[in-house]
């Protein structure tokens, strides 16, 4: 089996990165695989989605990206599952600035994961909504990238720009192999909204032009918000809700990658 490091990248906020991260993590864990989620977002979204209290900086990804990290991972188990979380912290914004001037700053996360490897089958990197140094680190550490797309013009055009950024940054970092983009994920789709229907209809041509897989839409539902208010994935909050099935094809692809020899 392979260890997969999946970075969820977007250059805009509110596109559903943490929703997708947590639901992939839970579903993969229910198939018997171990998952670690690393929160690289100073807004520490995973705290909310996983029902965690804020952690001290030295127990978060701030410590992981610091110079003096020696493999003393701080991982918190969640949901009575095989999922563990390394929490985020607002000081990640300062760490990002420090990484700019640090030698091998772009590779800090990749270096830590190589030197102090985690045993998990899947590592999910929940990234901030800017293409700064934290996302450069995520790209350098990733084996694969997943791009959530909100069905708005700015978000769709931004997703095409993000693909170009991934390619150019991978080349600058001389990543071999370049982490492939697993696919676009249309998120928060509401069929009642005409704009959503219109942009969803345009996405297949955009994805085909870019040579990227397009996953089925993930619907908008207040139940996602209700579940996150309890720090739970929808599967545990309302297991019979039809939106639980929206993640299946992504999860199938991730598990297929884990099973590759």
pLDDT in tens, 84-118: 999 999 999 999 999 999 999 999 999 999 999 99
3 state SS of 77: strand
Per-residue tokens: 27: 């579903």
For residues 4 and 141, the answer to whether their CB atoms sit within 8 Å is no
Percent of all residues in the chain with a pLDDT value above 90, rounded to a whole number: 82
Token look-up 């800017």 returns 130
- Return the closest-CA partner of residue 13 out of 93, 171, 128, 136: 128
Per-residue pLDDT, 134: 96
Per-residue pLDDT, 13: 66
Per-residue pLDDT, 161: 87
Per-residue tokens: 9: 């990248």
Low-confidence ranges of the chain (pLDDT < 50): none
Q: State how beta strands 144-150 and 181-187 pair.
A: parallel
Report DSSP letters for 168-186, one per residue.
HHHHHTT-SSPPPEEEEEE
- Return the closest-CA partner of residue 203 out of 190, 214, 189: 214
Determine the Cα–Cα distance for residues 240 and 238; give it in Å rounded to an integer.
6
Q: Where are the domains of the chain?
A: 4-259
Fold of the domain spanning 4-259? Rossmann fold (3.40.50)
What lies within 8 Å, CB to CB, of 194 at 6+ separation is: none
């Amino acid at each position: 089996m392979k260890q997969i490091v999946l970075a969820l990248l977007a250059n805009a906020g509110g596109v559903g990165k943490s929703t997708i991260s947590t639901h992939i993590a839970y579903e993969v864990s229910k198939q018997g695989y171990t998952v670690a989620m690393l929160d690289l977002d100073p807004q520490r979204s995973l705290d909310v989605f996983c029902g965690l209290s804020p952690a001290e900086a030295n127990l978060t990804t701030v410590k992981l990206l610091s110079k003096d990290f020696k493999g003393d991972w701080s991982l918190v188990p969640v949901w009575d599952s095989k999922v563990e979380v390394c929490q985020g912290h607002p000081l990640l914004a300062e760490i990002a600035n420090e990484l700019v001037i640090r030698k091998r700053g772009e590779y800090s996360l990749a270096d830590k994961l190589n030197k102090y490897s985690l045993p998990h089958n899947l590592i999910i990197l929940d990234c901030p909504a800017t293409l700064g140094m934290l996302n450069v680190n995520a790209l350098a550490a990733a084996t694969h990238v997943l791009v959530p797309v909100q069905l708005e013009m700015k978000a769709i055009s931004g997703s095409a720009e993000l693909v170009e950024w991934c390619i150019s940054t991978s080349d600058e970092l001389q990543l071999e192999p370049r982490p492939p983009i697993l696919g676009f994920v249309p998120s928060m789709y509401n069929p009642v909204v005409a704009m959503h229907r219109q942009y969803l209809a345009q996405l297949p041509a955009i994805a085909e032009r870019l040579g990227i897989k397009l996953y089925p839409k993930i619907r908008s539902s207040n139940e996602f918000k209700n579940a996150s208010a309890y720090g739970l994935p929808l599967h545990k909050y309302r297991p019979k809700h039809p939106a639980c099935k929206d993640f299946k094809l992504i999860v199938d692809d991730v598990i297929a990658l884990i099973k590759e020899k």
